[in-house]
A and B are shown apart, each in its own frame.
Chain A
């Protein structure tokens, strides 16, 4: 691993040099407590003092709706207009882990060229973060990154310790090498270690994810799922904000007056009613509880069997987003027999009164 230092006052200068000919995405403050990733030209809009953005960076790789083909009867022409040279700056470790999970998923058995091309054209410039009460990334072991980024900036008061994670990252540094200092002093290393220690202590959540695959299996018929199904609004917010949710629908959109169509791909959600419905009216998961089981089987169980880790990176987006408190935190805790104060627990108590 190659590590260099950058003075904070030189950050914009560096970004200026590397962002020519690329869309530059960075976290921007939208309201007192809401941030989003947005394409910016003015670096002063960057706001690195954020915990999580509303939507994860998956929206940058595969937009919520994009064209796969321009189709006529005789030809299906692939459309890669969603692909452009991009830089994502300020992305946190959990979101980088989510990209690594998607890299594996989209190349498993069949390579998805729509993801692959977008990913190949995107530089990932990570940034360190500080947890709030909803962050679960220490429990999912995604609070630190070892792969999946080109550069990673750790904030140390007036300097950044910059980790170079790829050959392309190294090329970026070489565009203006005089901005970087290759010698880390003992003091720098001490500051870094101290920050890491303090950050580790700042996590307040502890979820036993290792136990989840077995608990999902053992409690598959548990009443818990009925309670959750009763409260779930089937709105799809949890899957929209989840950085590893990747289900999609395909639509044939005819172009009026011409004998051709746009074949488009848009985000779908396993919590929506018709997700598992087939032609003829059969629906394999009519009940909300069945659809929630699918979601949590996927997050807490099946990815572990396939890729060795949960499909949750602990970003906490579902925790702050679900209007009725159905999220990875409350579901995991309940599976692990811990009482949680949630809307759906209060709801079921009222029902039994």
Chain B
């Protein structure tokens, strides 16, 4: 039976798989980085996801919640998450140590349209925790660099201490095949070696953009969408080439519990990745 594809649809889509916290460390005051591996080796390797998808993580005694996957499918085996301490489940997660067991199931949701994005220029705009889902696609683009045109990254945080994965992004900034701009609204350290100002001010650094040939990916806090979308629309990028990934309450991840319903769709099945056109023609999306 060697070499046979053993991936099957799970009989029980709600059943978590025991998984181990391989590494965890703080990224900011309230955001931790988690490296997680499904305990069963075979299942760990057959967990095949794509950029933009999410997983349900459960902590025994606390509950279950959805989290964007921050790692890239081009580096299989370990799953990575950037998680903010915000509620019951995340508070319990922050108590856990390396080698502790949690529950994990997924992957769920739709994905970034990687095939359509091939050969195109990609402008990624992230703010705050928006780095969590967009890091996955950024690393994927970099791991498959020859398949895409220009890759531009605009990353904003309030203060230096609040930028997720600063070291990683500063190291990426060194790459010649990535145009990487990192900015903070306010530099309270006086030592920030990159841009200072709102992420919207970085748009003037983009140079000439051919809008028809460009995809833009955005994720950040609600206030950021408002201003960033204005800038992206000024570039004349078509509304269905502007992609956003959204957050909702979810209890199942598979379109049954109802909590993530928007209009006639479920964020867990038809999202979390939406186009700007979806956002303006569907009510309540943002």
A residues with CB within 8 A of B: 68-69, 71-76, 78, 105-106, 108-114, 220, 246-252, 254, 259-261, 263, 268, 270, 275-280, 284-285, 290, 294, 297-298, 301-303, 305-306
Q: Flag if A252 contacts B60 (CB, 8 Å).
A: yes
> B189-223: contact bitstring with A at CB < 8 Å (1 yes, 0 no)?
00000000000000000000000000000000000
Residues of B within 8 A of A248 (CB): 251-252, 256-258
Are A75 and B264 closer than 8 Å at their CB atoms?
no
Instruction: Determine the distance from Cα of A222 to Cα of B254 in the docked complex, in whole angstroms.
Output: 33
Structural contact, B259 and A73, CB atoms closer than 8 A: no
Interface window among B11-19, B74-82, B163-171, B173-181:
B11-19
- B residues near A, CB below 8 A? 11-18, 39, 58, 60-65, 84, 86-90, 101, 103, 247-249, 251-252, 254-259, 261, 263-265, 269, 283-284
Q: How far is the CA of A14 from the CA of B88 in the complex (A)?
A: 53
A305 to B103, CA, bound (A): 36
Task: From known contacts A76-B15, A110-B254, A268-B259, infer whether A252 and B247 are also in contact, taking CB-CB under 8 Å.
Answer: no
Name the contact of B248 in the complex, choosing from A74, A108, A278, A294 (C-beta under 8 A).
Answer: A278
Contacts of B13 in A (CB 8 A): 110-113
Q: In the complex, what residues of B have CB within 8 A of residue A280's CB?
A: 84, 86-87
Check B16–A76 contact: CB distance below 8 A: yes
Knowing A72-B60, A260-B60, the reply to whether A110 touches B86 (Cβ < 8 A) is no
A217 to chain B, nearest CB (A): 9
Are B63 and A73 interface neighbours, CB within 8 A? no
Known: A280-B87, A305-B264. A71 touches B60 (CB 8 A): yes
Q: Which residue of B lies closest to A305 (CB)?
A: B264
Min CB distance A118 to B, Å, is 14
Shortest B53–chain A CB gap in Å is 14
The residue on B at minimum CB distance from A270 is B258
Q: What are the residues of chain B within 8 A of A247 when measuring CB–CB?
A: 257-259
Smallest CB gap from A277: residue in B: B249
A111 to B15, CA, bound (A): 13
> Which among B12, B39, B89 is the interface contact of A279 at CB below 8 angstroms?
B89
CB distance from B95 to the nearest CB of A (A): 14
User: Which residues of chain A have C-beta atoms less than 8 A from B261's C-beta?
Assistant: 270, 294, 298, 302
B265 to chain A, nearest CB (A): 8
A-B contact pairs, 27 of them (CB 8 A): A68-B14, A71-B16, A73-B18, A74-B39, A76-B17, A106-B256, A109-B269, A112-B254, A113-B11, A114-B14, A246-B256, A246-B258, A247-B257, A248-B256, A248-B257, A252-B61, A254-B60, A259-B60, A261-B60, A268-B251, A279-B65, A279-B88, A279-B89, A280-B87, A294-B261, A297-B263, A302-B265
Contact A109 B248 (CB under 8 A): no
Majority secondary structure, A binding face? mixed
Residues of chain A with a CB closer than 8 A to B14's CB: 68-69, 112, 114
A69's closest neighbor in chain B, by CB?
A: B15
Question: Considering the chains assembled together, what is the distance between the CA atoms of A136 and B103 in angstroms?
Answer: 45
CB distance from B56 to the nearest CB of A (A): 10
A113 to B252, CA, bound (A): 13
Residues of chain A within 8 A (CB-CB) of B62 are 252
Query: What's the Cα separation between A109 and B13 when bound, in Å?
Result: 11
How far in angstroms is the closest Cβ of chain A from B255?
6
Number of inter-chain CB pairs below 8 Å:
114
**Contact call A276/B263, Cβ cutoff below 8 A:** no
- Asked if B101 and A276 make an inter-chain contact with CB atoms under 8 angstroms apart, the answer reads no
- Contact A279-B87, Cβ < 8 Å, known A78-B12, A301-B264: yes
Partner pick for A250 among B12, B61, B252, CB 8 A cutoff: B252
Q: What separation, in Å, do the CA atoms of A301 and B90 have in the docked complex?
A: 36
CA distance A251 to B11 in the complex (A): 21
Give 16 new A-B contacts, CB below 8 A, not counting A110-B256, A276-B259, A284-B284.
A69-B14, A72-B60, A76-B15, A109-B254, A109-B269, A110-B255, A111-B13, A246-B256, A248-B256, A250-B251, A252-B62, A254-B60, A268-B258, A276-B248, A279-B87, A279-B88
Structural contact, A250 and B257, CB atoms closer than 8 A: yes
Min C-beta distance of B29 to chain A, whole Å: 14
Q: A302 with B103: in contact, given A110-B255, A252-B61, A280-B86 (CB under 8 Å)?
A: no
**Closest 3 A-B residue pairs measured CB to CB?**
A279-B87, A302-B264, A247-B258
Contact A250 B63 (CB under 8 A): yes
Q: Which A residues lie within 8 Å of B249 (CB)?
A: 275-278, 284
Q: How far is the CA of A123 from the CA of B87 in the complex (A)?
A: 43
**Known contacts A106-B256, A110-B255, A249-B257; A302 and B65 CB within 8 A of each other:** no
Q: Separation in Å of the A162 CB from the closest CB of chain B? A: 34
Residues of B within 8 A of A301 (CB): 264
The answer on a CB contact under 8 Å between B60 and A279 is no
- Complex Cα gap A23–B106 (Å): 36
CA distance A297 to B283 in the complex (A): 11
Q: Bound complex: CA of A255 vs CA of B84, how far in Å?
A: 27
Q: In the complex, A336 Cα to B79 Cα: how many Å? A: 52
CB distance from A103 to the nearest CB of B (A): 13
A289 to chain B, nearest CB (A): 12
Determine the chain B residues whose CB is within 8 A of the CB of A114 once the complex forms: 14
User: Does B259 contact A252, Cβ atoms closer than 8 Å?
Assistant: no
Q: Are A251 and B63 in contact (CB-based, < 8 A)? A: yes
CB distance from B105 to the nearest CB of A (A): 9
Q: How far is the CB of A297 from chain B (nearest CB, A)?
A: 6
Task: Give the interface centre of B90, B254, B284 by most chain A CB atoms within 10 Å.
Answer: B284
- Are B256 and A249 within 8 A (Cβ)? no
Which of A72, A252, A270, A284 interacts with B58 by CB under 8 Å?
A252
Is the Cβ of B11 less than 8 Å from the Cβ of A279? no
Write out the residue numbers on chain A whose beta carbons fall within 8 Å of the beta carbon of B248: 276, 278, 284
